Structure 1
Amino acid sequence: MCGIAGWIDWKKDLREQQHILKSMTDAIEHRGPDAEGAWVSENAALGHRRLIVIDPNGGKQPMLYQNNHHQIALTYNGELYNYLELKEELTGKGHTFNTSSDTEVLLHSYLEWGEECVRHFNGIFAFGIWDEEKKQLMLGRDHLGVKPLFFTEEGNGLLFGSEIKALLAHPEVNAEIDQTGLSELFGMGPMRTPGQAIFKNIQEVRAGHYMIYNEQGRKDVQYWTLESKKHMDDMDTTVNTIKEILEDTVKRQLIADKPLTTMLSGGLDSSGLTAIAGREYGEKTLSSYSIDFVNNEADFEEDFLRRDLDEPWVKRVSEHVGTDHTSIVFDAKKLVDNLLVPMKARDLPGVGEIETSLYLLFTEMKKTATVALSGESADEVFSGYPWFHQEEYLDAGVFPWLLNIGGIADVMKDDLLDRLHIEDYRKQRYQEALKELPVLEGESDIEAKQRRMSFMFITRFLPFMLDRKDRASMMTGFEVRVPFCDYRLVEYLWNIPFEMKNVDDIEKGILRRALKDYLPDDVRNRRKSAYPSTKDEAYYEGVKDWMLSILNDPASPILNLIDADKVRAMIEDKEQSTTMVKSLFDYLIQVNEWLKEYDVSVKL
Structure 2
Amino acid sequence: MCGIAGWIDWTKDLSEENRMLKQMTDAIRHRGPDAEGFWLDGHAALGHRRLIVIDPDGGKQPMLYKDSENDVVLTYNGEIYNYRELKEELTSLGHQFDTESDTEVLLHAYLQWQEQCVDHLNGIFAFAIWDKNKERLMLGRDHLGVKPLFYCKRGDQVIFGSEIKALFAHPDVKPELDEEGLSEVFGLGPMRTPGKAIFKDIEEVRAGHYMIFSKEDQQTKQYWKLESKEHTDDVDKTVETIQSLLEDTVSRQLISDKPLVSMLSGGLDSSGLTAMAGKEYKENGKTLSTYSIDFVNNDADFKEDFLRRDLDEPWVKKVSEYVGTDHTSVVFPAEKLVNNLLIPMKARDLPGVGEIETSLYLLFKEMKKNATVALSGESADEVFSGYPWFHQEKFLDADVFPWLLNIGGIGKVLKKEIREKLDIPAYQKKKYQDALEELPVLEGEDETEAKQRRMSYMFITRFLPFMLDRKDRASMMTGFEVRVPFCDYRLVEYLWNIPSSMKNIDDIEKGILRRAFADYLPEDVRYRRKSAYPSTKDDAYLKGVTEWMRRILDDPEAPIQSLIDAEVVRYIADGKSDMPDTSVRGLFDYLIQVNGWLEEYGIKVHI
TM-score range, shorter chain: over 0.9
Q: In structure 1, what is the Cα distance between the partners aligned to 2:300 and 2:390?
A: 32
Counterpart for residue 591 of structure 1: 594
RMSD: 0.7
Q: Secondary structure at the match of 1:14?
A: coil
Counterpart for residue 109 of structure 2: 109
Deviation at 1:12, TM superposition (A): 1.8
Q: Secondary structure at the match of 1:78?
A: strand
Q: In structure 2, what is the Cα distance between the partners aligned to 1:484 and 1:317?
A: 19
Identity %: 73
Deviation at 1:68, TM superposition (A): 2.7
Counterpart for residue 367 of structure 1: 369
Counterpart for residue 302 of structure 1: 304
Q: Secondary structure at the match of 1:230?
A: coil
Counterpart for residue 84 of structure 1: 84
Counterpart for residue 439 of structure 2: 437
Aligned pair partner of 2:603 in 586, 590, 600: 600
Contact 2:16 2:40 in 1 (8 A): no
Say whether residues 1:45 and 2:45 are aligned partners: yes
Provide the TM-score with structure 2 as the length reference.
0.99
Say whether residues 1:517 and 2:528 are aligned partners: no
Amino acid at match of 2:583: M
Deviation at 1:69, TM superposition (A): 3.5
Q: In structure 1, what is the Cα distance between the partners aligned to 2:96 and 2:10?
A: 33
Counterpart for residue 287 of structure 2: 285
Most deviating of 357-366 and 567-576: 567-576
Deviation at 1:573, TM superposition (A): 2.4
Q: Secondary structure at the match of 1:297?
A: helix
Most deviating of 495-504 and 12-21: 12-21
Counterpart for residue 335 of structure 1: 337
Q: In structure 2, what is the Cα distance between the partners aligned to 1:503 and 1:5?
A: 46
Q: In structure 1, what is the Cα distance between the partners aligned to 2:140 and 2:147?
A: 10
Q: In structure 2, what is the Cα distance between the partners aligned to 1:327 and 1:388?
A: 31
Q: In structure 2, what is the Cα distance between the partners aligned to 1:571 and 1:503?
A: 45
Q: In structure 2, what is the Cα distance between the partners aligned to 1:41 and 1:252?
A: 36
Amino acid at match of 2:579: Q
Q: Secondary structure at the match of 1:195?
A: coil
Contact 1:25 1:49 in 2 (8 A): yes
Q: How do residues 451-490 of structure 1 correspond to structure 2 at under 5 angstroms?
A: 451-490=453-492
Amino acid at match of 1:304: F
Say whether residues 1:563 and 2:565 are aligned partners: yes
CA-to-aligned-CA distance 1:148-178 (integer Å, 9 cap, x gap)? 0000001321001000000000011110000
Q: In structure 2, what is the Cα distance between the partners aligned to 1:67 and 1:102?
A: 21
Counterpart for residue 379 of structure 1: 381
Counterpart for residue 32 of structure 2: 32
Counterpart for residue 18 of structure 2: 18
Contact 1:189 1:405 in 2 (8 A): no
Most deviating of 281-290 and 231-240: 281-290
Q: In structure 2, what is the Cα distance between the partners aligned to 1:330 and 1:447?
A: 42
Amino acid at match of 1:214: S
Amino acid at match of 1:293: F
Amino acid at match of 2:397: D
Q: How do residues 518-533 of structure 1 correspond to structure 2 at under 5 angstroms?
A: 518-533=520-535
Structure 2 alignment gaps of length 5 or more: none
Q: How do residues 50-449 of structure 1 correspond to structure 2 at under 5 angstroms?
A: 50-281=50-281, 282=283, 283-449=285-451
Contact 2:156 2:215 in 1 (8 A): no
Amino acid at match of 2:249: T
Q: In structure 2, what is the Cα distance between the partners aligned to 1:199 and 1:255?
A: 37
Amino acid at match of 1:464: F
Q: In structure 2, what is the Cα distance between the partners aligned to 1:392 and 1:519?
A: 34
Q: In structure 1, what is the Cα distance between the partners aligned to 2:189 and 2:517?
A: 35
Q: In structure 1, what is the Cα distance between the partners aligned to 2:213 and 2:559?
A: 37
Structure 1 alignment gaps of length 5 or more: none
Q: Secondary structure at the match of 2:65?
A: strand
Q: In structure 2, what is the Cα distance between the partners aligned to 1:483 and 1:54?
A: 18
Provide the TM-score with structure 1 as the length reference.
0.99
Q: In structure 2, what is the Cα distance between the partners aligned to 1:354 and 1:85?
A: 38
Q: Secondary structure at the match of 1:403?
A: helix
Q: Secondary structure at the match of 1:20?
A: helix
CA-to-aligned-CA distance 1:126-147 (integer Å, 9 cap, x gap)? 0000000000100000000000
Amino acid at match of 1:28: I
Amino acid at match of 1:190: P
Deviation at 1:59, TM superposition (A): 0.1
Deviation at 1:16, TM superposition (A): 2.1
Counterpart for residue 583 of structure 2: 580
Q: In structure 1, what is the Cα distance between the partners aligned to 2:353 and 2:388?
A: 20
Q: In structure 2, what is the Cα distance between the partners aligned to 1:424 and 1:302?
A: 33
Q: Secondary structure at the match of 2:68?
A: coil
Deviation at 1:404, TM superposition (A): 1.4
Contact 1:266 1:317 in 2 (8 A): yes
Most deviating of 566-575 and 78-87: 566-575
Deviation at 1:13, TM superposition (A): 1.1
Moved over 2 A (4+): 573-576
